[in-house]
Amino acid sequence: AQQWRGVIREYAHRLDVTETTPIVTLGEGGTPLVEATHLSARIDARVLVKFEGMNPTGSFKDRGMTMAVTKAVEQGAKAIACASTGNTSASAAAYAAHAGITAAVLVPDGKIAMGKLAQSVVHGARLLQVQGNFDDCLEITKELSEHYPVHLVNSVNDDRIEGQKTAAFEIVDVLGDAPDIHCIPVGNAGNITAYWRGYTEAARHGDTTRTPRMLGFQALGAAPIVRGEVVREPDTVATAIRIGNPASWEQALAVRDESRGGFWAIDDERILAAQRLLAREEGIFVEPASAISLAGLLERHAAGEIPKGCTVVLTVTGHGLKDAQWGLRLDDGSDASPQVVRAETSEVASLLGLA
């Protein structure tokens, strides 16, 4: 059997590539759309989880990065640059390594998950921890790309959005139509923009009979779109979406209006509770920023906003192993300290309640 060929080859007819485009791929995309039976029963609807942590570097960023790095190489770039809360930098580092070019990545000092930092280092990126937040990093990176020979691969680069729209195509291919509702975390708002582009293109080509309502969720301490103003000091445990001035703000508002959707803010405790729920009830371990899709869905359901029997897709954007410390946290907020036992079968059996 032929293996999945990555999003550019699988969806070449919907992307700006030619026979001679030098495709840079790690086999991204083709991620599972998991039927979430327990969550479905809980809210009386059909819930499916698009598990983007299953991409090569553990997040949805790989869909956009394959396209951005491919186009950069096609244009002769020798170096790419990005600002990041951790996942974009991990992805840029890996794809640059694969392409044999340099990646320069700027991240907020001390505010990205350990796994993500390790990824940038292991792939050999030029990593700088900036004394500032993500928004500062993005400003500097944009200026760098204007004045120096580096190719910007943040989602303000439309090639990123083009690559990321393929996630919507995959969902449509599996379901045979678009879902009624799509829940998604929002940081810079690049991904919600990309999904909406994917769904509207699919509808235009006659692949679907409808487009979904797009429900976007921001962390309470980093919710500029919800509040309608820039947040100067964004703060949340969901470091991936710790963003106070989203690059695709206007596009996000257009998605809200065109899809009859909306944006809501979710507090950190609900985000972490949803992370544990998804892990325990469905076997899917995601990072905190990703769990906001579920926390948001539960909140909208409690508000009576989710019609019975409708189809809901949750995008969970990054793997839980990226930020594993949260996995050790118990419901009461304390850290798990797994029991230690002597190497004796009878004692193990008794502690497990088997004897």
Task: Figure out which of the listed residues 59, 70, 133, 251 binds ligand F0G, where binding follows CB under 6 A.
Answer: 59
**Rounded to whole angstroms, how far apart are CA atoms 202 and 237?**
35
Out of 88, 120, 133, 145, the only residue in the binding site for ligand F0G (CB under 6 A) is 88
In the complex, the smallest distance separating the C-beta of residue 128 from ligand F0G, rounded to whole angstroms, is 14
Work out whether 320 is an interface residue with ligand F0G (CB under 6 A). Answer: no
Half-sphere exposure of 79 (CA within 13 A, CB side): 13
Does residue 318 touch ligand F0G according to CB under 6 A? yes
Going residue by residue from 167 to 196, which x/- string records binding to ligand F0G, judged by CB under 6 A?
Answer: ------------------xxxxxxx-----
Binding mask 243-272 for ligand F0G (x = CB under 6 A): ------------------------------
Residues linked to residue 172 through DSSP beta bridges, in sequence order: none
Burial class (CB in 10 A: 0-12, 13-18, 19+), 342: exposed
Distance of closest approach, residue 183 Cβ to ligand F0G, in angstroms: 12
> Between 46 and 261, whose beta carbon lies closer to ligand F0G?
261
Q: Binders of ligand F0G: how many residues, by CB under 6 A?
A: 22
- CB-wise, 70 or 91, nearer to ligand F0G? 91
DSSP lists the bridge partners of residue 151 as: 80
Q: Do residues 321 and 58 make contact, with C-beta atoms less than 8 angstroms apart?
A: yes
Instruction: Provide, rounded to whole angstroms, the least separation between the CB of residue 1 and ligand F0G.
Output: 31
**Coil, strand or helix at 4:** coil
Q: Which is nearer to ligand F0G, 101 or 156 (CB)?
A: 156
**What residues contact 339, with CB distance under 8 A and at least 6 apart?**
351
Sheet holding 102-108, edge to edge: 126-130, 102-108, 79-83, 151-152
The CA distance from 333 to 71, in Å, is 45
Q: Could you tell me whether strands 46-51 and 33-35 are parallel, antiparallel, or unpaired per DSSP bridges?
A: antiparallel
**Binds ligand F0G by CB under 6 A, chosen from 48, 168, 289, 306:** 289
| Placement of tokens 């320069």 in the chain | 104
Positions in the binding site for ligand F0G (CB under 6 A): 59, 61, 84-88, 155, 185-191, 240-241, 287, 289-290, 317-318
